[in-house]
Chains A and B, each alone.
Chain A
């Protein structure tokens, strides 16, 4: 059943899009300067189909998508496991803290040119850059989440003579799961950005490459059409992150509850 206010909101959203597109179209037709700078919706649509059928837009889409996704997964896995495991050693965590802050606040893209030296100019370099730009956020969030475990919970388990690993899997990790998942949501943007910067530095494929080339030719509508591909990509990755967040209960059950009582 669709609720009435849902219909109304969808209607408003569509109306809003139509107004913006119509205004854009009119402005582009009226002024040659506007036409030069942002084109019109119809031209953009034409360029989109051109990219789709003549320039293998789908291929570029999948390349950028895979760079961002693989980088995101690597960054999240490494960052999260490192951040969570620091819970085991309070003194190590405190000792590591200033270094982590220092590295995390560094603009990671300052290292982008070095990535070419380390990882070459191919697919791997973009993945590495995407991983680099996500790993610190994942680390920081996981570390914070793990260290926020309430002392009451740790005490009850400690009194039962639970091992550190039992405390870790039964109280620390499940409690930090919301932090880990919210870092993943944040990192969708950072992962995409990493992949893009990689493509801007050196690439002969990918959506970033398409945008760079189209802007080089002053073909703004084409660049916009490629940028639209990024939006779709961000939307998809966000959708995956949202789906995982939606099922965080099952995830927690899987991690911390023995099968005999699992739901």
Chain B
């Protein structure tokens, strides 16, 4: 059970055409995400991380290679947290937060109760009836996170979901996010350019090179202190060590 692979990327390559010339964005990328695991993908800006995530989520077809999702898990729920929150402007914060569970057909009074408590946990209470135009970028991203988590996904794809949130708020959200993913047993692919975020969140870290993106290295962080707290984890010696190594990989990749 623990060894089931939920997401399998097999020899993914993506070639775009720019000015009539082929431009390889992703070059032969293969990896696996096991059930309940959180895989963090780090890479420099513009390296094709977002494209890779879109291919995994089934929004873009790869030029060659394929993505295999566990059919049963895919059936019971997939969600995406895009980089820009993409809230629907005619829906209130609460209604945007419930969109995911509406799509998944999981709209009930109990579910609504849960959304309310999550809105509170994310520091958004009092804004339930606000429209997206009245929310800051960071608030909108939090709503996008709730929207995805409340659809009760089995597989979750995240594209820098906390990039518009200030440092302190980001640490807090990292802690909560990791807790929720673990509790719900969600298989997660998390794209970020923030090394520290990747170290804290990832069961596995995949470091990508700049374009054309290929995998430079893999890490499995083993934090001896505070693996469930984004602030505490920085005390562990492995954190600093891993940070250095990933930073070097990124620089040389």
Contacts and interface: CB of A to CB of B under 8 A. Distances in A.
A155 B79 CA distance: 11
B151 A160 contact: yes
A155 B90 contact: no
Interface in B125-172: 129, 148, 151, 153, 157
Interface stretch (B26-34, B80-88, B234-242): B80-88
Interface string B80-104: 1010101010111011001110111
B170 to A, nearest CB: 22
B198 interface: no
A246 to B, nearest CB: 15
B195 interface: no
Contacts of B58: 158-159
Contacts of B86: 152-153, 155-156
A216 interface: no
Contacts of B59: 155, 158-159
Nearest to B84: A152
B77 interface: yes
Interface residues of B, number: 33
> How would you classify the secondary structure of chain A's contact residues: helix, strand, loop or mixed?
helix
A162 B153 CA distance: 13
B80 A161 contact: no
Nearest to A249: B90
B126 to A, nearest CB: 16
Contact of B78 (A161, A171, A174, A249): A161
Contacts, number: 71
A166 interface: yes
A156 B84 contact: no
A14 B100 CA distance: 55
A155 B103 contact: no
B109 interface: yes
Contacts of B153: 160
Interface in A145-197: 152-153, 155-162, 166, 170-171, 174-175, 177
Interface string B96-120: 0011101110011100100000000
B102 A170 contact: yes
A252 B102 CA distance: 16
Contact of B90 (A160, A166, A174, A260): A174
B98 A161 contact: no
A5 interface: no
Contacts of A56: none
A170 to B, nearest CB: 7
A263 B88 contact: no
Interface string A84-124: 00000000000000000000000000000000000000000
Contacts of A177: 90
A217 interface: no
Given A156-B82, A160-B80, A261 B88 contact: no
B144 to A, nearest CB: 8
A214 interface: no
A258 interface: yes
8 contacts: A160-B77, A162-B103, A170-B88, A170-B102, A177-B90, A258-B107, A260-B107, A263-B95
Given A155-B59, A166-B103, A256-B91, 19 more contacts: A152-B82, A152-B86, A155-B82, A157-B103, A159-B57, A159-B157, A160-B100, A160-B148, A161-B103, A170-B99, A170-B102, A174-B88, A249-B90, A252-B90, A260-B108, A260-B112, A261-B107, A261-B112, A263-B95
